[in-house]
Amino acid sequence: MKKFFTRQIIIKSVEQCLKRFPVTVGFTVSLAVFLLIVCWGKDELFTERQTFTINYYLTVGSLLSLSLRLWGEEVKRKRIVYIANALLHLLLLADAGYLYLLPEDFPFLETGLAHGSTLTALGLSIFTLPFFREKDDIASWNFTLQLVSHAVTSWIIGGIMCGGLCLLTASFSGLFGLEVNGNFYTTWLIVFCLTLPSLLFLGQIPAGEAKHDRTGHTSAFLSKVIRYLFLPLLGCYLLVLYVYALKILVQWQLPDGWVSWLVIALTAGCIGVEFCMYPSLRQGLSRFEQRMARRLPIAILPLLVLMTIGIARRFNDYGITLNRLYLLTLNIWFYIVCIGLFVLRARRIQWIAVSFAGIFLLTSVLPVNYARLTHRYMFQALSIQIQTSYKGELPMDEEQYLDWLASLPRETARLTNSRLKILDYTFKDKEIHRLVAPDINYWGAEKCIKENSEVHFSQK
C-alpha cells in the first residue's frame, strides 16, 4: 500500500510537470537526447560550431520557456501570452542562426557580453517577473527561497545517483576485468546530473496559492547567523576600510585601486543581509535588524566615494579598459542601491535585481556598448601614439617594434604592448596590422619589458 501511494505521488508529480511546463520539458529532453547522440555517435556527426549552436538554443530555450510560463500564469489575456511566446522563441531561433553564421575570426567579446547580459536578465526574470502585480516582495522572497532549496535538493539527488552508477560501472572493470566504454560515464552525467535534476526541479515549482505565499516566514536560526556572524564580518570590513580612509587622508594620497574589491565585497554582503532580513523587516519583529537595515547602507556610502576615487585614479593612470568601465558602472549602481535601501527603508528589494539586469543590458546590448567604446578608444590612442612617436615606415616588423618600445618609458611600453595584444587577440582588429606586423610576439615583448627595461630589446 505504501509503495503504491509513493508511486502515485511520483506519477502525479511527473504528470503535473508535463502539463504545466510542456515546452520546458521538451527543450530539456531534447538537449539530453542531443548530448547522448553526440556522445555515442561513432563519427563526428556535428561540427564544433553546430554542437555549440544547438546546445545554446536548447539550453536558453529551456530558461526562456520556463520564464514565459511562470509569467503567463499571471496574465489574464492569454492572447498576449501566446504572441509573446511566439515572438521571443522566433527571436531565439534567429539568434541561434546568427551565432551559427558568425565567421571564425569574428571578435566574440562584444557578442558574448551581449548574450551574457541577456541570459542574466532572463535568469533573474524567473524570480521577479511572475510577481509584477504584488504590493511587496514577500511572495517573491518565499518563491526564490523555495526554488533555490528545490534546485539544491534536486541536484544532490542527481549527483548521488550519478556517483552510484559511475562506481557500479567501474566495478565491472575491477571485478570482472571487462573493458568499460567511457561513454557510459558521460551518459550517467547527462541523465542524472542534467536531465533528472531539471525534471525534479520543474515538478516542485510552487503553483497557485503556494506560488504567491505572502506569509512572512522568519527563521530564528537565520536571524542569529546574521546577527552574530554576518554583521560582525561586515563590521570588520567597515572598520578596516575606514581606518584605511583615515590613513590616506593623513598622508594625503590617493587610494589604491585594490580597495575597490573590498568595497565590492562589503556592499554585496550588505545586499545579501538585507535580502535575508527582509521578512523580519516587513513584520517589524526586531528593532535591531531595522536599525541595521537602515544604517548599514549609509555607512557604506563614504566608502563608495573611496572606490570612485580609486577607479578615477586607474582611469587617469592607464586610460579606459573594459573592466574599468564595468567597475565604474557597478560603483554607480552601488550608490543607487544604498540610497534606495535607505529611502525605501528596505520595503522593496526586488528592484535591486531588476536594476542590475537592466543596467547590464544597457551597457552590453545597445549598439553603443562598453566593448565597442573600449575598442575604439584603444585603437585611436595607439594610432595617435605611434604616428607621433615613431618616425619609420609602417607597419613595423618585430625588430622595429622592439626598438620602438625600447625608446619609450617602461610603463608606457608595457601599457602600449598590452593594448596592442588586446586589440589583436581579444578584439581581433585587423586594422592594427597597418601599424604593426601580424606576427608580432607580444608575450615575448612583455617579457623583455619586465626583464630589461633599459636594455635594447632587439639585442636580447
* Residues contacting residue 92 through CB under 8 Å, at least 6 positions apart: 57, 60, 61, 64
Tell me what pLDDT residue 458 has. Answer: 47
Orientation of helix 322-344 relative to helix 287-318, angle to 10°? 160
Task: Answer whether residue 457 shows pLDDT above 50.
Answer: no
Omega of the bond leading into 395 within 30 degrees of 0 (cis):
yes
Query: Identity (one letter) of the amino acid at 421?
Result: K
> Which residues, in sequence order, are bridge partners of residue 436?
396
pLDDT at residue 376, rounded to an integer: 93
Tell me the average pLDDT of the chain.
89
Task: Please name the amino acid found at residue 95.
Answer: D
Whether pLDDT at 287 is above 70: yes
pLDDT for the residue numbered 73: 93
pLDDT of residue 231: 92
- Tell me the β-bridge partners of 396: 436
pLDDT of residue 82: 95
Mean pLDDT value of segment 62-73: 96
φ/ψ of 436, rounded to 5, equals: -135, 155
Parse the chain into domains and list their residue ranges.
2-203, 220-364, 370-451
- Distance (Å, rounded) from C-alpha 442 to C-alpha 420? 8
What mean pLDDT is predicted for residues 206-235? 87
Q: How far apart are the first and last CA of the chain?
A: 84
124-135 pLDDT per residue, tens: 999 999 998 888
